[in-house]
Structure 1
Amino acid sequence: MEKNYQDITDVPGVAVGHSEDREAYTGCTAILFEQDTVCGVDVRGSAPGTRETDLLNPVNLVDRVHGICLAGGSAYGLDAAGGIMKYLEEKGIGLNVGAGVVPIVPAAVLFDLPVGDASVRPDGKMGYEAASLAKRGDLSWGNAGAGCGATVGKVAGLHRAMKGGIGSSSRFLPGELVIGAIVAVNAVGEIRDLDGNVMAGARDDHGKIVSSLDLMVDQASIPLLPGTNTTIGVVACNAKLTKSQAAKVASMAHNGLARTIFPVHTMMDGDTIFAAATQEVEASVDLVGTFAAEVMAEAVVSAIKHAKGIDGFPAYRDLHNK
């Protein structure tokens, strides 16, 4: 029977590195692969900020990636992927084009500009640092990397939100199959645990969490600009998958967001999930996709449990300890 372990780096050949500015409350996370890795993507939110997602369309030529970048900073944060590319190029890692290598590093960003210093965003230097720090195990979660400035529960406005973050989970399955997820949770909606209990969300004048869905029904929410939220993540496995199958796994992994974020995939979110497969063991796409949703849901819960409160944004642990 399957067992719960630690994080996405339990998947053989996957390493993760974080870099962040803890004063400006923004950062980026590099997910690197020891070998060329098949990758797919599914974008569900209506205000995404992404890079190289067209390349991951199954009809297009290149089907292997060398890293993935998750970052804050809204569209500015896409620059961090260039730093990861530079790091990989220096290591001789990338698509051989004859004149050298071109590292393939898709990216997705979330919106954290008003949380700290909006003039500070993830850039090439931060992306390079995140890549250089990539390792397996013993990683920081919560207010780390792309989750540094993440917030949740913004249906009633940012001033009533709570701290989001970045989290991870993994499963070991029969046949040496390993599936893991990493996710930066920056949702407009509230976060619920796997039993349906609200962990973090919009707060009333007394600091008590109120139902995001009730706020929407009552039309009491403050309109938010598109793209001001977004949950972004990666599911990885050591299965042998084609690019189209990886895209299907990414699609199924969104079910993990739907189980833990209410509402999700709104006009204000740019929710994006990448799915990476390192091509080591045989496994059905249905099995991988089903457990990808499971570990993604667990990773969302992990992000909220590890988050620490910052000025104006209490965390789950602050309310739970009370």
Structure 2
Amino acid sequence: MAANLITDVDGVRVGSADDAKLASGVTVVLFDEPAVASIAINGGAPALRDTALLEPEMTIERVDGFVLSGGSAFGLDAAGGVMAYLAEIGRGYEHRGARVPIVPGASLFDLLNGGDKGWGRKPPYWDLGLKAASTAAVLFALGSAGAGYGATTYNLKGGLGSASAVTSSGFRVGALVVVNSVGRATRGESLHFWAAPYERGAEFGGFGFGPQEIDDHLSLRLKSDTPSSTDLAVVVTDAALTTTQLKRVAIMAQDGYALALRPAHAPMDNDVVFAAATARAGAAADIRDLTEVGMLAAECVARAVARGVYEASPLAVPDGKPTWRQRRATSSTTK
């Protein structure tokens, strides 16, 4: 039975590790077998590792997983821990007896969220990456977990979100997003999410889009005027797609940020989307299928953004951002 998670796509597992004192963490998406992958980068301030190989003209087409982490560029160390775990279990690109796990990564900026970042000479992200990889499973926590532990938006606590869907031809699509946006996921200071038109069931509260006019909902509001925010996503399908086709899926999935956040693709955001295909569906995908996979990938990203904020729990730090649920408890807005 589908759990409305990226792991509804067969062959995908997710693991998270975080540290309350650090107020940061790591989330890993692992594939049971190497998956064809690509990437789209629309934000102006990315922190990336091993992402050049995801372009269609590069030789290595398949990856063992993706690594999302806090810690800004320090967090890119998390991939080393994930590689160590994968090497221990015999995974990786093989060449004449040598194996190198392929785990591209991206990091978000959470260095100013109130956690203790005084780690000295050795940032903790390598160890967090190892722990996240070794605990990867089909079911996993949302909200303030893993890479989403210390994430924030302009007005609310951010977090880790996920969602899934099925195309008209039966292909599964799933997304996982870490929401650390420079802007807002809600319409102004209300409880209504920008992603509300795409909500399924009451996966993020069921409050709907709200009235046509909401105070301040179209104003520019930024967490910072400097490059200090990031939204990271992984989208996966069980369709058999090429690297070039997945590049198109990643580009289309970027629109999910624009459906769920205001602003999106800002010069101070990262806004990365990794895209992968497990090819477990066992059916060929035509150009119409590719289009629907990309469309649903964008919608899953938007829904995952809202779920990440909706499921967040507060950070135990001074002056921490309120959560959506705390805002609801003090709001006069009703369904």
Counterpart of 2:81 in structure 1 is 83
2:133 aligns with one of 131, 134, 138: 131
1:126-152, Cα deviation, whole Å (9 max, x unpaired):
101000000002x11100000000000
Measure the CA separation in 2 of the matches of 1:222 and 1:171: 31
Instruction: Give, as a single letter, the amino acid of the residue that structure 1 aligns with 2:57.
Output: V
Are residue 140 (structure 1) and residue 141 (structure 2) matched? yes
Instruction: Give, as a single letter, the amino acid of the residue that structure 1 aligns with 2:23.
Output: Y
Deviation at 1:222, TM superposition (A): 7.8
Specify whether residues 6 and 79 from structure 1 end up closer, same or farther in structure 2 by C-alpha distance, changes over 3 A only. same
Counterpart of 1:295 in structure 2 is 300
Identify the range of structure 1 (177-186 vs 98-107) with the bigger mean alpha-carbon deviation. 98-107
Counterpart of 2:209 in structure 1 is none
Deviation at 1:280, TM superposition (A): 2.5
The answer (yes or no) to whether the contact 1:213–1:263 under 8 Å persists in 2 is no
The answer (yes or no) to whether the contact 1:72–1:122 under 8 Å persists in 2 is no
Q: How does 1:18-167 map to 2 (within 5 A)?
A: 18-115=16-113, 116-120=115-119, 121-137=123-139, 139-153=140-154, 161-167=155-161
1:42-76, Cα deviation, whole Å (9 max, x unpaired):
00000000111110010110000001000000000
RMSD: 2.0
Deviation at 1:4, TM superposition (A): 7.3
What secondary structure does 1:140 align onto?
coil
What secondary structure does 2:226 align onto?
coil
Measure the CA separation in 2 of the matches of 1:186 and 1:222: 10
Measure the CA separation in 2 of the matches of 1:122 and 1:262: 32
Question: Structure 1 length normalisation: TM-score?
Answer: 0.87
Instruction: Give, as a single letter, the amino acid of the residue that structure 1 aligns with 2:247.
Output: A
Instruction: Give, as a single letter, the amino acid of the residue that structure 2 aligns with 1:195.
Output: A
Counterpart of 1:320 in structure 2 is 328
Deviation at 1:210, TM superposition (A): 7.0
The answer (yes or no) to whether the contact 2:2–2:8 under 8 Å persists in 1 is no
Counterpart of 2:208 in structure 1 is none
Counterpart of 1:225 in structure 2 is 226
The answer (yes or no) to whether the contact 2:143–2:161 under 8 Å persists in 1 is yes
The answer (yes or no) to whether the contact 1:4–1:172 under 8 Å persists in 2 is no
Deviation at 1:264, TM superposition (A): 1.1
Counterpart of 1:156 in structure 2 is none
What secondary structure does 1:105 align onto?
coil
The answer (yes or no) to whether the contact 1:26–1:122 under 8 Å persists in 2 is no
Identify the range of structure 1 (54-63 vs 112-121) with the bigger mean alpha-carbon deviation. 112-121
Task: Extract unaligned runs of 5+ from structure 1.
Answer: 154-160, 200-208
Counterpart of 2:189 in structure 1 is none
1:94-115, Cα deviation, whole Å (9 max, x unpaired):
1001132101000011000111
The answer (yes or no) to whether the contact 1:189–1:212 under 8 Å persists in 2 is no
Counterpart of 2:163 in structure 1 is 169
Instruction: Give, as a single letter, the amino acid of the residue that structure 1 aligns with 2:324.
Output: Y
Measure the CA separation in 1 of the matches of 2:60 and 2:226: 34
Specify whether residues 168 and 76 from structure 1 end up closer, same or farther in structure 2 by C-alpha distance, changes over 3 A only. same
The answer (yes or no) to whether the contact 2:156–2:309 under 8 Å persists in 1 is no
Counterpart of 1:178 in structure 2 is 172
Deviation at 1:223, TM superposition (A): 5.3
Measure the CA separation in 1 of the matches of 2:271 and 2:96: 36
Measure the CA separation in 2 of the matches of 1:210 and 1:31: 39
Measure the CA separation in 1 of the matches of 2:75 and 2:215: 32
What secondary structure does 1:239 align onto?
coil
Task: Extract unaligned runs of 5+ from structure 2.
Answer: 187-192, 199-203, 205-213, 331-335
Identity between Structure 1 and Structure 2 (%): 41
The answer (yes or no) to whether the contact 2:78–2:127 under 8 Å persists in 1 is yes
Instruction: Give, as a single letter, the amino acid of the residue that structure 1 aligns with 2:46.
Output: P
Counterpart of 2:181 in structure 1 is 187
Measure the CA separation in 1 of the matches of 2:27 and 2:93: 22
Aligned residues: 297
Instruction: Give, as a single letter, the amino acid of the residue that structure 2 aligns with 1:130.
Output: A
Instruction: Give, as a single letter, the amino acid of the residue that structure 2 aligns with 1:211.
Output: D
